[in-house]
Each structure stands twice: as structure tokens, then as C-alpha cells.
Amino acid sequence: MKNFGLIGAAGYIAPRHMKAIKDTNNNLVVAYDIYDGIGIMDSNFPEADFFTEAERFEDFIYKWKMDNGKPLDFISITTPNYLHKSHMRLALAHGADAICEKPLVLNPSDIDELKKVEEKTGKRIYNILQLRLHDSIVALKDKISKELKENPDKVYDIDLSYLTSRGKWYFESWKGKEEKSGGLASNIGVHFYDMLSWIFGEVEENIVHLKTPFVNAGFMKLKNARVRWFLSVKYDYIPEEIKTIGQRTYRSITVDGEEIEFSGGFTELHTRSYEEILKGNGFGLDEARNSIEIVSTIRNQEPVGLVGEYHPFCSLVNSD
């Protein structure tokens, strides 16, 4: 049994980490969040210590190490994106490996900094990149890998569409502040970029067509794919047939016109991620780099407008 700490226990994704710790028969020793409304802990680890002050949390994990003769094994991190780097440094400094939600960090230079922390402490950082464990995505990667062995120069045409409605709260929260979240592409697109570059190779070209508070859209040339992508948090742009059935999210990936079905199978992916990490097979800093470079480029690039190979949904966008 491994002993865990959790930073960001009140966050949206934190319950999946608690469940993963429990499902893998490990123990959550202590959790921390500035917000104290976390009754979810009662159904997972009611005996875990909890703090709303960082200093008391850090004091606890220091004393726990002294009393038990060894540090916590892992500290899981589910805090706002801009805090990930400092919380991973804290975990490693106290002798624990870190398990961090995506996006791992905001900038590629942060990865270089954290590699030095790994080298200094001898501890590891793991990133939750759960799409790499999704059965449909694994099957797609296997299929593409076989095809590329026969034709290494083949280039696929891909359309990525992800529209997930968010209310006014989104723009008042840290998620709506680019300096804290990294922007829309970091918030809702990073795992798709990771998946696509994992399957189709490194980025050769990265163009942004539209960038508003509600929409990011662009084109990427990967080694073996041309990708038109469209991300939105505005309900207006949801296809009418999706609105008609009462849904507020639309997700689609087509490869050479063929839809990749991966709408289900998400509920256990955090547990599977933890299982792989505990076996020493988790995704580390090097695996996270491609997607962080992609979203950093998008964030720092001026949109070119509707020229070139832009996603069809771009024509729906008003001035926002």
C-alpha cells in the first residue's frame, strides 16, 4: 500500500484521483485545498487529514516523514494550471513522486526546470494523459502504426471538433484568465493535441485561424497528418442536431472522413493511469512536452483569420 497526499482536493477532477487511489488499494493520508467544502472525502478517505492552509499542509507532510521514517510515496496535484509547477516542486522536495493533471505546465521552459528538480531529488513527475489509455485511441494508434509501416509518407486528413458549453462562471474563474489557465487551448484542447501528436508524429506547422474568449481554431501539420481543429465553450456553436437532443457538448474526430468513436470508456481512465504509474509505466515530462509546446505556440501566436485550411465551423463564428 502506497501513501498519498492530494493538493487541490476541492477541484472538479479531484474525485477521480481519490477514486483512483482507492481503487488501486492505496491510502490518502492528507489533502489540502483553500476551499473546505469537500464532503466527497467522506465516501473515499474519511480518516485523511485535511488543511486549508499550505503552511499547515507542508508542516504535516514534513512531520509525517519524520514520524514514519520515510516520506509520502506520491502527492497528486489537481490545482489550477498555473500552480502545477510549484506544487510539483513541493512534492519532489519532500521526497514524494508527483502525479499531476493536464496541462502539466504552461510553458516548455517549465518542463526544463522540472527536469532539473527531478535530477536533484531523484523523484519522478507523472502526467495524467488518459486518452493514451483509451481502448479506441489505442486501437487507432495500432491501426495507424501498421499503415505507416507500409507507407511511411502517408499523410492523413483530420478534423478535430470539441465544443463544450460553459456558463458565465467560467470567465470569472481562473479558467477564464489566460495567465492562470493558459487559455482555451490549454484548458480543453491539450489532451487532444497530445493524443494526435502521439499517433501522427511531431508538429511541423502550427497556425491559429481564430482566437477569441469563446473559440480557438487553427491548423496543424504533423509528420503524418493535416489537422483542422476547432475548440469552443459557447453553446451557440453546438450543432443543431446535438442541441435538439438536449446535449451541451459535441466531440468529433474524423480521420480521412471516418469518425473515431470514443465517446464512452472514460470513467476508469484515471484508475488505469494510476495502475500504470504504480507499475512504473506512467507518462513523464518527456511525454508531456509535445502538447505543452503546441498550446504555448497557440497562446503566443496572432490569429491569421480565415485563410488556408481552416475548420468548417470557423464560418459560424461571429465577432464574439
pTM score, whole prediction: 0.95
Q: Which amino acid is at 289?
A: R
Alpha carbons 137 and 203: distance in angstroms, whole number: 19
- Over pLDDT 70: what percentage of the chain? 99
Provide the pLDDT confidence category of residue 318 given band limits of 50, 70 and 90: confident
Q: What pLDDT does residue 35 have?
A: 95
301 is written with which cell numbers?
501566436
The number of helix segments (H) and strand segments (E) in the chain equals 12, 12
Q: Which amino acid is at 23?
A: D
Parallel/antiparallel/unpaired status of strands 249-255 and 225-232: unpaired
Alpha carbons 33 and 30: distance in angstroms, whole number: 11
Q: What pLDDT does residue 258 have?
A: 95
- pLDDT tens across 240-249, in order? 999 999 999 9
Provide the pLDDT confidence category of residue 201 given band limits of 50, 70 and 90: very high
Parallel/antiparallel/unpaired status of strands 249-255 and 156-164: antiparallel
Which one, of 191, 192, 253, 202, lies nearest residue 224 by Cα?
A: 202
110 is written with which cell numbers?
517549465
Report yes or no: 42 and 65 within 8 Å, Cβ to Cβ: no
Coil, strand or helix at 220: strand
Provide the pLDDT confidence category of residue 203 given band limits of 50, 70 and 90: very high
Alpha carbons 81 and 102: distance in angstroms, whole number: 8
- pLDDT tens across 38-59, in order? 999 999 999 999 999 999 999 9
- pLDDT tens across 135-168, in order? 999 999 999 999 999 999 999 999 999 999 999 9
